[in-house]
Structure 1
Amino acid sequence: MPLSKLKCAQLGFHFIPSHLRYAVQARLASTASSTPYSFPAHRHPKPHEIFHLPLGASQAEIKRRYIDLVRIHHPDSVLCGHVPPAERHARFQAISAAYDHLRGKSATIRSTPSYDDQLYEEIRWRARRTHNRRTDRPPETDYSADIVPFVFGGLLIFVAVVPAMASTPRASSRPASLNLAEARSEAQMYGQERRREIQRQAHIYQLAKEEEEECCKN
């Protein structure tokens, strides 16, 4: 099947030496403002503004103008090689949507977003995704609060044992039975006090933890 003239021109452009290709693109960029059917510079152009046609243009005029616009603004066309790729695709999509609208294929048309609009939406989407990742992350468990009762218990045991150990040399000269009875009495007394203190500290910790959980729920 024979290739179209536009396709042949595009294929031929790729075989041009690189320095000549850059010169051609620079020339095209310098004459872009003089393109007869340049893409509107303002945002959200209307279909008839994209086609450079009055509102009452015939279907034949619309079709001929569409062919001209495709030749100029197709993403693979050498005539728009100076335009960034993303903007070339956005313009061509706007031209296709405008052509469908002018032919009556759609009752309404939303103007295709410009390159700046697409970039802005991309930034907003990335920021929203980052925020969702942070908020959906399971909270890290704080194990330090669970160690508090054990620390209190260890301190109480240390306070109870050290005085008993210090009194041992003084009691060595006393009768063994008296020392044993006194040691048992002291151990029982310190043990009861230690248990009561541990229970009291554990109760205080439990109340503080319940109050903190209640505040978090509210």
Structure 2
Amino acid sequence: MRNTLKIRSAADRGVAEHGWLHSRFTFSFAGYFDPQHMGFRSLRVINDDIIEPGKGFGTHPHENMEIISYVVEGALEHKDSMGHGSVIRPGDIQRMSAGTGVTHSEFNPLRDRPVRLLQIWIKPDQMNVEPGYEEKPFPPETKTNRLRLVASPDGADGSVRLNADVRLYASILEPGTEQVKPGDGSRHVWIQVVNGKLSVDGEVLETGDGAAIEHAADLTFQGLEKSEFLVFDLA
């Protein structure tokens, strides 16, 4: 069985510029609407955000969504109505289950450089659950030249636990190296390139590109340059 990649080019993403915030939207979000890109399976949002020094999102509400923050560069300060407060940095995975309702704020605490992060929203399997929070570090060495499970419905392999039938893998692939993700056609995959350039089943993807694969068979990833990317394994 041969995989067919439907590529979402970085250059075709939605754009929002607010002075303090520079966003690129893989899927429809806020004032950006594209009926052809409303999400993929339970994956609803991938926002590639750059927040200027000392700026951020004031306290705002969420409900019934699994929210993952993946910091690429810099630092992000988080506070929420559940009583959590922390600064997450590159390599950390933060998961917030909004459930019946939660409020939080996110700021760049640094005064000398921006923060870049991916904001990821996943539709939950169960609605109106009790809100929850989890944060874990996954240093570069734990995901270099391998697909490292960082989020899953059962918390396998030390991953954060999702209220969704989704397994999220993070990887840093060095040039000339190869990784294979097994697949039997029963699952669906979204790939998001964070940085770099790699080949996926012969298709070249670069920074900011995404790709959807329905009924995925084995997928072969090859590093064309040092590359960081995310792989969503979806029901």
> The TM-score by the shorter chain falls in which range?
under 0.3
Q: Which of 1 and 2 has higher RCO (CA within 8 Å, sep 6+)?
A: 2
Higher normalized helix content (fraction of residues): 1
Higher normalized strand content (fraction of residues): 2
TM-score (norm 2): 0.21
